[in-house]
Structure formats: C-alpha cells, structure tokens
C-alpha cells in the first residue's frame, strides 16, 4: 500500500509510541522512512528504526523552534530528496496545563499550543516544499476534542484548535495536491498518556461506553488507519477527522446491561 512512499514519522519516544506502530506498519507496507524525534528521545527512536526495513535516518528536532524545523527540512531533503507524506504525532502540555483549566499561567498554555498546534502548521508548510508535483499527505493526531473530560484540561482546547487548523490546512495545501487529515484515537498507554493526571478515568470511560472492544495497549488499529491516510487510497480525502476509537464518539452515554438500565430511575 505504501511501496516507494517517502514518509516522515515524528513523535517516536519508544516502542509504545503511536509513531512507532505507524513506522513499523509503514515499513512492512514498503515505505521508505525518516524519523524526527525530540532530542531526548533519539535513543528510543533509533531502537525503533533498527526494527524497520532498510536504513532509517533519525533526525533530532524541537518542534517549537522555527530554526530546528528548518534544519529538519534540510535534513529530510538530504536523506530522502523529498516527501510523499508526514505523520505529525507531536503534543505536549506542561503539568499545570493538564491539571486544571483555570488559574494556569499563560506561559504553560503557550507551550501547549505551540507544541501541539502551531507545529502541525509548520509541518504542513515544510511538506509543501518537499512534496512532489503529484501531491502528498499530512496526518495528525486528535483526541475527542469536541467534549470536555474530567481530565485532559488545556490539551482539550489545543486539540479543538488542531481540528480547526486541519480544515484551514486542507484548504491551503490543496493547490499543491497535499491532503491534511487527523485521526482521533482512543486512549493508548503511551509515555505521553502517563503524563496525563487521571488517565485511568479515560480508560474506564471507554470500557463503559465504547460499543466495540478497545485495547489501550494496542496501537495497531490506529497505525493502520494512519497508513491508509498516508496512502493513495485516501487521495480524495482531506479536511477529515477519522475516529479510530471503537465507536466511543458516536455513543451518547454509557452502555449498561438491561438489568442495570432498568434499575435506574426514569
């Protein structure tokens, strides 16, 4: 499905990262890969690169820095010549921005927004200069941003902004034949998830409300959806948010059994 596609995969911290699952799936599907990793994650990213077919360069980048993204672009150009697609799997919020909505310093919110939203636009701009005339695909990661959760806090507004940005990028990248889409995944036990206070609340919500089974340790369904969006099979899809969450987004309330439901007051 991805034979000969040159793909940039970001956000790999270790084997449990969503980016790692995508990279391994894309490698099996025939893609040529280059990784972009935060400097502290280079060792983990290189371990994943060693599991992929062929030689995979691992480039360091702080995605909040315009200078480092420019350096990443040059590094990708040297390694690959160009790109047919990119996965933006980058998000971060300082702990104060995850612990509350109110009383959070503006500086913490700015870091969360720059890392999680602005950098997606920066990837789109970079891809527009690296893509062939036939076009390319940009994919990012979302999480149920249309609702307020007992946890997540400022990352929720950031993901809502990411959804809006996705629509604007779909508009502005289309003349170059570049698609922009998001995958809204259910909760997965990644290193990023371990930094969310009350993450188990999200896990319990999926256990009670998702109509299909959801395995928080298995990123394969999400990776397969991302690979589809990176492939030519999605050539007429842009501005989309693809929910890969076991149907959780479509349910209005928790799914109790008939006995439990009957016992509740009308």
Residues 46, 120, 152, 168: which is the catalytic one?
152
Residue spans of alpha helices (H) in the chain: 18-28, 42-49, 66-80, 95-99, 106-113, 119-130, 155-173, 191-194, 199-209, 220-230, 258-263
d(CA 190, CA 203): 13
Hey, which residues does 57 pair with through a beta bridge? 34
**Would you state the structure tokens that stand for residue 233, as one six-digit string?**
């099979």
d(CA 85, CA 6): 7
Say if strands 241-244 and 32-37 run parallel, antiparallel, or are unpaired: unpaired
d(CA 135, CA 219): 27
Cα-Cα-Cα-Cα torsion 251, 253, 255, 256, nearest 10 degrees, comes to -170
Residues 5, 46, 120, 159: which is the catalytic one?
159
Active site residue 159: yes
Active site residue 46: no
CA count, 13 A, side-chain hemisphere, 22? 33
Catalytic annotation, residues: 152, 159
């Amino acid at each position: 499905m991805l034979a000969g596609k040159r793909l940039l995969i970001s956000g790999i911290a270790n084997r449990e990262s969503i980016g790692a699952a995508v990279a391994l799936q894309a490698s099996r599907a025939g893609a040529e890969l280059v990784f972009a990793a935060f400097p502290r994650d280079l060792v983990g990213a290189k371990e994943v690169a060693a599991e992929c077919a062929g030689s995979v360069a691992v480039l360091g980048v702080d995605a909040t820095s315009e200078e480092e993204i420019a350096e990443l672009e040059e590094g990708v150009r040297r390694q690959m010549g160009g790109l047919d697609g990119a996965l933006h799997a980058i998000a971060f919020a300082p702990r104060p921005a995850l612990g509350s909505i109110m009383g959070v310093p503006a500086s913490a919110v700015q870091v969360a927004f720059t890392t999680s939203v602005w950098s997606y636009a920066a990837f789109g701009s970079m891809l527009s200069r690296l893509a062939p005339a036939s076009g390319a695909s940009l994919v990012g990661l979302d999480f149920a941003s249309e609702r307020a959760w007992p946890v997540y806090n400022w990352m929720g507004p950031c993901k809502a902004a990411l959804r809006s940005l996705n629509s604007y990028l779909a508009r502005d990248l289309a003349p170059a034949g570049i698609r922009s889409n998001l995958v809204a995944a259910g909760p997965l036990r990644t290193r990023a998830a371990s930094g969310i206070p009350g993450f188990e609340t999200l896990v319990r919500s999926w256990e009670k409300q998702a109509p299909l089974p959801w395995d928080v340790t298995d990123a394969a369904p999400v990776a397969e959806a991302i690979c589809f969006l990176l492939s030519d099979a999605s050539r007429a899809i842009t501005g989309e948010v693809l929910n890969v969450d076991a149907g959780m987004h479509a349910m209005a309330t928790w799914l109790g059994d008939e006995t439990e439901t009957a016992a509740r007051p009308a």
